[in-house]
Amino acid sequence: MTLRLATRRSPLALLQARYVAERLEAHGVDTVLVPIETSGDQNLTDPLSALGGQGIFAVEIQRAVLRGDADIAVHSAKDLPSVTPEGVVLACVPERRDARDVLVGCSLADLAHGATVATGSPRRRALLLERRPDLNVVELRGNMASRLARAGQDGVNAVVAAAAALQRLEQESLIAEFLDPSWFIPQVGQGALALECRVDDSETIRLVGPLNNVDASLALEAERAFLRELGAGCSIPVGAHAAWREGVVHITGVMADPFGRRSVRHAVTDADPRVAGTVLARYLRDDCGGGALVAARSSE
């Protein structure tokens, strides 16, 4: 039996899919990659925030699995929409890499007043401006190589990237600073891979089982519950990061004004990952002032 792994065509995505393939082959499972171009890869001009939010790098890959053109969808977990489509199951979360964000080109403290930082993420933009409102934050699109190359070019002093991406690409030497996740809370799923299968494909689900890391899977479950509670229509920057330790999940979240003028943060601990993520989202939105940020955003 040869398992077909659907993946984005970007160099980083292919590298991640090959990592999964190698892990499966180490357990005696033959694999072949099925590269797919997603709508997010086709449109490299519009800001990510204008392309309909989460799912633009995942939907076509999920459809390939549902159609039977592939057996496994290999995603960066942060690219997944908040709700898993009917007929698909999140079957496996391999060991997670570093979830932190990093600066490439210059550290935050060394950026001059008014320096230019590039990022395509509304969350990263908001958290940067909250700490350094003097910065000029500009849009950043393209694959990882082209984004990293922007640092030091065309007036861009630094770019923000995911630590896990540079680790997988073996380019950690480019990192000028790891941003402290206690204030620069990562995106849901950052640093994790997510393998989806058809819900009725019990054999494939069984074969990917040995790759699953229980701690990473439970942490991601909490983060996705957080995002699901806020809903796909949430129009403001949010982030959440969870860790499973000694039988409980610890999750921290943030909701922020897009221009860094205000944010709300909170942390929750619970033995049930879904409860932890849901409670955190509700507290930030309903009890901590996050709902006011949403209302202010929609009135702009």
Per-residue pLDDT averaged across 142-167, rounded?
92
Q: What percent of the chain has pLDDT over 70?
A: 91
Q: Is 98 a catalytic residue?
A: no
Please check whether the two domains, 1-94+192-212 and 214-300, share a CATH topology: no
Q: Where are the alpha helices (DSSP H) in 85-193?
A: 122-131, 144-149, 163-168
Does the pTM surpass 0.85? The reply is: yes
- 101-178 placed in CATH 3.40.50.1370: no
What fold does the segment set 1-94+192-212 form as a domain? D-Maltodextrin-Binding Protein; domain 2 (3.40.190)
Which of 71, 79, 101, 257 is flagged as catalytic?
79
pLDDT tens digits for 246-296? Answer: 999 999 999 999 899 999 999 999 999 999 999 999 999 998 877 777 656
* Bridge-based pairing state of the strands 136-138 and 116-118: parallel
pLDDT exceeds cutoff 80 at 83? yes
Per-residue pLDDT averaged across 47-75, rounded?
83
In the CATH hierarchy, which top-level class contains the domain 214-300?
alpha beta
**Tell me, what amino acid is at 3?**
L
* For the chain, domain boundaries: 1-94+192-212, 101-178, 214-300
Element (H, E) at 4: strand 2-8
